[in-house]
Amino acid sequence: MRAIHTDRSLSHFGERPSGSRVSTLVIHAMYDFAGDSTNAGDCIRVLDENTVSAHFLISRRGKVIQLIPESKRAWHAGESRMPDSMGAAHGVNDFSIGIELIARDHETFTGSQYRALGELTSGLCSRHPIQFLVGHEDIAIPKGRKSDPGERFDWYRYRQSLAEAGTDVSRLTFRDDTSR
Ligand SMILES: [Zn+2]
């Protein structure tokens, strides 16, 4: 089991509505910004400055850092709505867990990141009734407001890494299921 590091410096989160269950995972990517986008500390600072948060951050080397407890409502999706095929519910932060991948312009995500993401997701699926896996770009409203994780994120590879981590992926609905 991969070690999960913790950083509790972010304060931008709150309580989930009572009775809510985590049904959805939202994948995000932080691309190059002013500062060192490969440095987890700089990424956490940028989240803080933008008054947002995510539950987890995955470094280029596959280090997993938990920023917000899974039971809390992180501020990662913003104005959002699930795709019609996934129920079209608004306010995705209420019922989701957000994972930020550290990205680099002109580079693909690393094998270490896919392995870490697969193992992390596998654990999350064992603790929550997760059904849907989407990207921020799929749920942000108005449509086109967000473009992460973007075309460089390989959903097929994500699915493979999750299966390799021992999760039955046939029970899950991925954002691209309609196109494959
Ligand atoms: Zn995002």
**In the numeric block, which tokens belong to residue 70?**
């899974």
Tell me the backbone φ, ψ of residue 21, rounded to 5 degrees.
-120, 150
Asked whether residue 14 is domain-assigned, the answer is no
User: Using one digit for the tens of pLDDT, what is the confidence trace for 15-70?
Assistant: 999 999 999 999 999 887 766 767 889 899 999 999 999 999 999 999 999 999 99
Average confidence (pLDDT) over 120-146:
97
- Of 150, 144, 180, 112, the closest CA to residue 31 belongs to 150
pLDDT exceeds cutoff 90 at 120: yes
The count of structural domains within the chain is: 1
Among 15, 49, 100, 151, which one carries the catalytic annotation?
100
Our answer to whether residue 164 is catalytic in this structure is no
Report the separation in Å between the CA atom of 77 and the middle of ligand 1, taken as the mean of its atom positions. Answer: 6
By residue range, what is the domain housing residue 123? 4-8+19-175
Report the separation in Å between the CA atom of 47 and the middle of ligand 1, taken as the mean of its atom positions. Answer: 10
- Packing angle between helix 155-164 and helix 111-127, nearest 10 degrees? 60
Asked whether residue 180 is domain-assigned, the answer is no
Report the separation in Å between the CA atom of 136 and the middle of ligand 1, taken as the mean of its atom positions. Answer: 5
Q: Annotate 46-58 with b (16+ C-beta within 10 A) or e (fewer).
A: ebeeeebbbbbbb
The confidence score (pLDDT) of residue 75 equals: 98
pLDDT band at 104 (very low <50, low <70, confident <90, very high): confident
